[in-house]
Amino acid sequence: MSTTFLPCGIYHQEYAKEHAWWQTPFIKGKMILLLIILFFIIPFFADSYGLSLCNQISYTILGAIGVQLLIGFCGQITLGHAAFLAVGAYTSALLILEFPWPAFMLDWGLAYPVSIIVAALMAGIWSVAFGLSSARVKGFYLILTTMAAQFIIVDFIITQYVSQIGGRGQAFSIPPETIKIGPIIIDSDLKVYFMMLFFVIICTAVLANLVRSKVGRAWIAIRDNDISADVMGINVIKYKLIAFFVAGCIGGIAGSCWISNLAAISPEHFPWSWSLWLVGVILIGGVGSIHGTIFGSIFMVLVMEGLQLLVIPLADIYPKLLMDFLFIKEAAFGLAICIFMIFQPYGLSYRWQQLKNYFNLWPFSY
Amino acid sequence: MSLQAEQKNENILLELQDIHMRFGKVKALAGINLKIKKGEIHSVIGPNGAGKTVMMNCINGLYKPQQGTIFFKNKEITRLKPYERARIGMARTFQKVEVFGGMTVLDNIRLGRHTHFKSGILNGAFYFGKTAKEEIEHRTFIEENIIDLLEIEHIRHKPVGMLPYGLQKRVELGRALALEPELLILDEPLAGLNLEEVEDMARFILDVNEEKHWKVTCLLVEHDMGVVMDLSNNVFVLNFGNMIVDGTPEEVQKNPEVVKAYLGEEDLYATRK
């Protein structure tokens, strides 16, 4: 949409500098400040409510990154991403609960990290299986085939079969002290926060790196014009499937991280509306922008929490508001998307870029 | 004699043998034979709907001809997919510009070098030394050879979708060149350009055809007779899917059938002078 300008008077003399993420000392300082806030200020000054909010934001970001990759960068519209989060969560939970781990793996706390990797691969494979239809169909038709992923995986396979494993009924509860990484038992919001933060940073970095190298460029080319991408030597089907695989992997990681926060999972944690929600997040944040994923997630989580805070004092007067809060939330979601589509179609990230350009170019207007 | 024949064959870059392409009952191409020698500019002309673009799509792999064979560098490529043909050195531009509108000019050209990039997904994901080094190497190539040649330094960071049409055409040519092709298919590179841009584009085509580094064989589809007759070594005239004549520009201009079918009764050829 619009390019970001460098501040007045700064020029690059080497290509490497221009390829870098953080191009000026000011940006470097800003990012280091951000890291300090994320790693030292938030965890030690936020209460458990604040931390749980942060965890929810992280989970939304991890889910939305996959959707952003597919819709924003590869142009493959997907409406079934929650299914791959479910695959990740269930793979991880089943591995922890049912897999006969050797004693030393349990002692060293390797079971959960290994299960995250397996969950990522598993979700990636399922995602590729449902992405195969993208070889033949695009646009609206692909929306329906990806929706099939939701119905087949969550509503059929997981609800009907996977949930029955071990005879636990619908929900899998994960016993305390089974989720541990190395010697650390993940049992508090603070530890979940650090784990989620780690994965958010890794996944964001992976996506950002892919987008500035060969694979990501091929994705964007497929999004913009698949026929000429084919002519320029890109194996379109292969790169679409790679996109589905990477998106599925990130979804799997998101799902298997989330079980540490939930302590019990059931198919209801991954409804179809959650897939839709993730698409809404990237629409509000900005399609085709990594910033957008993060801004959208923060915005959606905070607005919904704000709504809740708003509703609670009103509950005395209108008790129905609290009873029907779920519907109010959905209405607010719809309204937010409508407002953004009309007034800010490029999302929050575009506004952010304009703001940055304003300061970079100051005192000139263009 | 056989040696001579072989040498002659080696000199031929692209060969079409008896290509038939039908859409239902419509015969778009009815038995086309074409030989393109290395290093020449070979033009294809014909009235609207003659089948020129269909022919380019067949050469390029977007269409599969029902009958006939295509040889590229003495290898049969009739069944290869477009991206496989790109890998062996075939690039094209489109009649209606088909650039990647959301990417910058630089990224568009970088994408043209897709087949030359070696780093895989893991390397790309963590941007290890190899990927970073490769990116810089290709960037240097693009800056020194393509952006400099096409004179688009000032717009290299602009999204292509926002550029004027003439510049988009230039970026598209740059993207095709980035592939370092042996055969460059130019489907109406001059359509919709003003006189100055036409002159620039003709100069670029001659440059890439003649400069030592490039030496690209060009297959040119064009309506601008002045440019076609001046640039090309050979001209191939197509009408309703049939070849009328294939020869030097002088022969073509003198051919009465061509004059009747395409050039019109008398002096349509002097469109721009």
**pLDDT for A6-36, tens place per residue?**
777 778 888 888 888 888 888 899 999 999 9
Q: Report how many Cβ contacts below 8 Å link chain A to chain B.
A: 114
Contact A245, B125 (CB under 8 A): no
Verify that A290 and A227 share a domain, yes or no: no
How many Å apart are CA B257 and CA A241, to the nearest integer? 52
Residues of A in contact with B99 (CB under 8 A): 224-225, 228
User: Which residues lie closer than 8 Å to B51 by C-beta, 6 or more apart?
Assistant: B21, B28, B29, B238, B240, B241
**Are B98 and A228 within 8 A, CB to CB?**
yes
Contact B121, A214 (CB under 8 A): no
Considering chain B, what percentage of its residues have pLDDT values greater than 90? 67
How many Å apart are CA A231 and CA B176, to the nearest integer? 9
Higher pLDDT, B272 or B127: B127
Verify that A116 and A195 share a domain, yes or no: yes
| The pair of three-digit structure tokens given for residue A221, joined into one six-digit string | 């080319």
Of A88-97, B85-94, B254-263, minimum mean pLDDT range: B254-263
Number of domains in chain A: 2
**Are A210 and B159 within 8 A, CB to CB?**
no
Verify that A75 and A224 share a domain, yes or no: yes
Q: What is the mean pLDDT of residues A205-225?
A: 94
Sign, CA torsion A179/A184/A188/A191: negative
**Are A217 and B157 within 8 A, CB to CB?**
no
Residues of B in contact with A212 (CB under 8 A): 127, 135
Search chain B and give the residue with CA nearest A218.
B111
pLDDT confidence of residue A287: 92
How many Å apart are CA A234 and CA A226, to the nearest integer? 9
Which of A270, A302, A322 terminates a domain? The answer is A270
Nearest to B127 among A213, A218, A223 (CB): A213
Search chain B and give the residue with CA nearest A288.
B102
pLDDT confidence of residue B223: 87
Of A9-18, A163-172, B71-80, B90-99, minimum mean pLDDT range: A163-172
Residues of A in contact with B82 (CB under 8 A): 230-231
**Are B136 and A232 within 8 A, CB to CB?**
no
Identify the residue among B127, B136, B142, B187 best suited for mutation to test binding to A, counting A beta carbons within 10 A and taking the highest: B127
Verify that A228 and A128 share a domain, yes or no: yes
Chain B, 77-136: which have a CB under 8 Å from a chain A CB? 81-83, 86-87, 91-92, 94, 98-104, 107, 110-112, 114-115, 117, 119-121, 123-127, 131-132, 135-136
Verify that A220 and A88 share a domain, yes or no: yes
The answer, yes or no, to whether residue B5 has pLDDT greater than 70, is no
The CA distance from A146 to the nearest CA of chain B, in Å, is 24
- Closest alpha carbon to A154 in A134, A135, A170: A170
pLDDT confidence of residue A203: 95
pLDDT confidence of residue B8: 60
For the domain made up of B2-263, the CATH class stated in words is alpha beta
B263 pLDDT tier (thresholds 50, 70, 90): low
Nearest to B175 among A213, A227, A232 (CB): A232
The answer, yes or no, to whether residue B266 has pLDDT greater than 70, is no
- Closest alpha carbon to B106 in B141, B133, B142: B142
The CA distance from A350 to the nearest CA of chain B, in Å, is 14
Nearest to A213 among B92, B100, B119 (CB): B119
The answer, yes or no, to whether residue B273 has pLDDT greater than 50, is no
Considering chain A, what is the average pLDDT of its residues? 90
User: Which residues lie closer than 8 Å to A59 by C-beta, 6 or more apart?
Assistant: A196, A254, A257, A258, A261
Verify that A297 and A245 share a domain, yes or no: no
Verify that A88 and A141 share a domain, yes or no: yes
Search chain A and give the residue with CA nearest B111.
A217
Contact B93, B169 (CB under 8 A): yes
Q: What is the mean pLDDT of residues A227-249?
A: 95
Residue ranges making up the domain that contains A116: 57-270
A187 is a domain residue: yes
Q: What is the mean pLDDT of residues A88-102?
A: 91
Verify that A299 and A240 share a domain, yes or no: no
Please state the length of chain A: 366
For the segment B119-151, what is each residue's pLDDT rounded down to a tens digit?
A: 888 888 888 888 999 999 999 999 999 999 999
Which of A238, A270, A302 terminates a domain? The answer is A270
Considering chain A, what percentage of its residues have pLDDT values greater than 90? 58
Which of A270, A285, A315 terminates a domain? The answer is A270
Q: Provide the b/e sequence for A87-124 (b: ≥16 CB within 10 Å).
A: bbbbbbbbbbbeeeeeeeeeeebbbbeebbebbbbbbb
Considering chain B, what is the average pLDDT of its residues? 88
B116 pLDDT tier (thresholds 50, 70, 90): very high
User: Which residues lie closer than 8 Å to B86 by C-beta, 6 or more apart?
Assistant: A231, A232, A233, B115, B179, B181
Q: What is the mean pLDDT of residues A39-48?
A: 91
pLDDT confidence of residue B90: 94
Nearest to A288 among B102, B112, B119 (CB): B102
Its ipTM equals 0.89
A41 is a domain residue: no
Q: What is the mean pLDDT of residues B7-15?
A: 80
How many Å apart are CA B148 and CA B84, to the nearest integer? 29
How many Å apart are CA A176 and CA B71, to the nearest integer? 68
pLDDT confidence of residue A73: 95
For the segment A245-286, what is each residue's pLDDT rounded down to a tens digit?
A: 999 999 999 999 999 888 788 888 999 999 999 999 999 999
The answer, yes or no, to whether residue A212 has pLDDT greater than 80, is yes
Q: What is the mean pLDDT of residues B151-165?
A: 92
B1 pLDDT tier (thresholds 50, 70, 90): very low
The answer, yes or no, to whether residue B270 has pLDDT greater than 70, is no
A36 is a domain residue: no
Strand partners, B234: B42
Chain A, 7-26: which have a CB under 8 Å from a chain B CB? 15-16, 19
The CA distance from B272 to the nearest CA of chain A, in Å, is 31
Verify that A257 and A347 share a domain, yes or no: no
The CA distance from A29 to the nearest CA of chain B, in Å, is 22
**Are B119 and A218 within 8 A, CB to CB?**
no
Cβ–Cβ contact B174 with A under 8 A: no
Q: How far is CA B117 from the centre of its chain?
A: 22
The answer, yes or no, to whether residue A168 has pLDDT greater than 80, is no
- Closest alpha carbon to A337 in A299, A288, A291, A309: A299
Q: How many CA atoms lie within 13 A of B65 on its CB side?
A: 28
Q: What is the mean pLDDT of residues A139-158?
A: 91
Distances (CA, A) of B43 to A96, B186, B231, B260: 67, 9, 9, 19
Cβ–Cβ contact A117 with B under 8 A: no
Contact A62, A259 (CB under 8 A): no
Cβ–Cβ contact B144 with A under 8 A: no
**Are B102 and A224 within 8 A, CB to CB?**
yes
pLDDT confidence of residue A126: 95
Nearest to B82 among A2, A16, A230 (CB): A230
Q: What is the mean pLDDT of residues B21-32?
A: 91
pLDDT confidence of residue A34: 95
- Closest alpha carbon to B81 in B112, B95, B55, B60: B60
Search chain A and give the residue with CA nearest B159.
A1
pLDDT confidence of residue B119: 84
Search chain A and give the residue with CA nearest B133.
A16
Verify that A67 and A83 share a domain, yes or no: yes
The answer, yes or no, to whether residue A1 has pLDDT greater than 50, is no
Nearest to A3 among B101, B157, B179 (CB): B157
Q: What is the pTM assigned to this prediction?
A: 0.92
The CA distance from A1 to the nearest CA of chain B, in Å, is 7
The answer, yes or no, to whether residue B268 has pLDDT greater than 60, is no
Contact B111, B99 (CB under 8 A): no
For the segment A309-339, what is each residue's pLDDT rounded down to a tens digit?
A: 888 888 888 888 777 888 888 898 999 999 9
How many Å apart are CA A313 and CA A307, to the nearest integer? 11
A252 is a domain residue: yes
Contact A248, B145 (CB under 8 A): no
The answer, yes or no, to whether residue A296 has pLDDT greater than 70, is yes
Verify that A131 and A266 share a domain, yes or no: yes
Verify that A199 and A329 share a domain, yes or no: no
Amino acid at B79: R
A165 is a domain residue: yes
The answer, yes or no, to whether residue B224 has pLDDT greater than 60, is yes
Q: What is the mean pLDDT of residues A281-294?
A: 93
Vertex B240 angle, CA B239 and B243, to 5° = 45
Position of tokens 């541990």?
A: A180
For the segment A107-130, what is each residue's pLDDT rounded down to a tens digit?
A: 888 899 999 999 999 999 999 999
Identify the residue among B64, B94, B98 best suited for mutation to test binding to A, counting A beta carbons within 10 A and taking the highest: B98
